[in-house]
Structure 1
Amino acid sequence: MVFYFTSNVVSPSVTLFMGADKHENEDLIKWGWPEDVWFHVDKAGQVAFHKDKDVRKVKVAKRNNEIVNRLNKTKKEAFPDLRQEREERDRSEREDKKKVLREKKEKEKEEEKRKKEEAEVRSYSTLMRTENMTTNYDGNDSDDFM
């Protein structure tokens, strides 16, 4: 079972996850998303972070139960399939990347085609074709100039 808490202090709101035991916490960490920040609080209140470099610490002069009470009001319990959620998200991200690459390749092909057409218009190869030529010969073979 995983506990969900919603914090509306920041915009957009964030969801906090809490495992009921160490096994669920390990699954949360294993199947969590790369941008997640993980921490552990033991019974004495000691906090240990999964990635210390991602932590921004704030000192609080006095304990404020208002914050804890506000979070407890948003508490929900669920049995999510964390692995499936992560795999779906990863699949979606891969599809988005492939789509962007396809669009980029299409734009490159269109640009190359446009440049080729412009180069062809500017070249002299189309000027001296026989089908484009006309004559001033009218069919009279007379040398009458005057």
Structure 2
Amino acid sequence: MVFYFKARPETGDYTIFMGLDKYENEELIKFGFPEDIWFHVDKMSSAHVYLRLNKGQTFDDIPEGVLEDCAQLVKANSIQGNKVNNVDVVYTPWQNLKKTASMDVGQVSFHNPKMVRTVRVEKRINEIVNRLNRTKVERKPDLKAEREAVNAAERAERKQQLREKKRREDMDRLEKERQAEMRSYKNLMVADKMTSNKDIASANKSLQEMEEDFM
């Protein structure tokens, strides 16, 4: 089971989601999207909360209000973190999550610690948490199938880009060949290099004229 939430609408169309338990968290870790940002309460047990950005965005593009929504949701879904103030929430791109065979179910580390950021949550804001909970939808998605569909779409897009690149290269090559042919033709048509029929006629004596000269 995965729970889906809608961030505050004035910031844009952003979806926040989290797994029911550590087993769903494991699936989310395995089949995440490049646009996913992972959130967790630092040094405490909490839900794994994800924000799905729009394609092409990075975690530098997270609106401040959306960041606050994610941080509040993580805090509210941490047994220990929900009870105390001044909680740190860490977040990082999904691709920076590191999973090894020795780790417990749902446990992760990071490939690059420098890609991990921290936001301080001073206290729980019930207004935000309640608003998010009113948008909550429960689903049982096939995360593997969703990831495979995205991979297939990305492969098709790359193929289309390669076809378009080859088409442009072919057009550029043909245009260069045409320009080269035109330059070659113009060189042949330069006036001082051309000989008219009249010039040819004046430069060559007729057979009769040659016989008269001989006589």
On whether the aligned pair clears a TM of 0.5, the verdict is yes
Aligned partners of 2:90 and 2:119 also within 8 Å? no
Flag the structure with higher helix content.
Answer: 2
Aligned partners of 1:5 and 1:15 also within 8 Å? yes
Counterpart Cα distance in 2 of 1:66 and 1:105: 54
1:39–1:60 Cα change, 3 Å: closer
Q: 1:4 Cα deviation (Å)?
A: 0.5
Structure number with greater CO (CA < 8 Å, separation at least 6) is 1
1:135–1:27 Cα change, 3 Å: same
| Further displaced range: 71-80 or 58-67 | 58-67
Identity %: 49
Aligned partners of 2:3 and 2:139 also within 8 Å? yes
User: AA paired with 1:20?
Assistant: L
Counterpart Cα distance in 2 of 1:48 and 1:25: 16
Pick one of 107, 122, 133 that aligns with 1:72. Answer: 133
Q: 1:110 Cα deviation (Å)?
A: 0.7
User: AA paired with 1:11?
Assistant: T
Counterpart of 1:113 in structure 2 is: 174
| 2:135 is the alignment partner of 1:99 | no
Cα offsets for 1:84-114 (capped at 9, x unmatched): 1111111111111111111111111111111
Question: RMSD over aligned Cα, in angstroms?
Answer: 2.9
1:61–1:44 Cα change, 3 Å: closer
Tell me the secondary structure at the aligned position of residue 34 of structure 2.
Answer: coil
Counterpart of 1:28 in structure 2 is: 28
Pick one of 127, 135, 138 that aligns with 2:197. Answer: 135
Cα offsets for 1:10-44 (capped at 9, x unmatched): 63221111111111110011101123122341431
Counterpart Cα distance in 1 of 2:37 and 2:29: 9
Counterpart Cα distance in 1 of 2:114 and 2:35: 12
User: AA paired with 1:23?
Assistant: Y
Which aligned pairs between 1:45-60 and structure 2 lie closer than 5 A?
45=81, 50=97, 51=110, 53-60=114-121
1:80–1:8 Cα change, 3 Å: same
Pick one of 46, 63, 70 that aligns with 2:124. Answer: 63
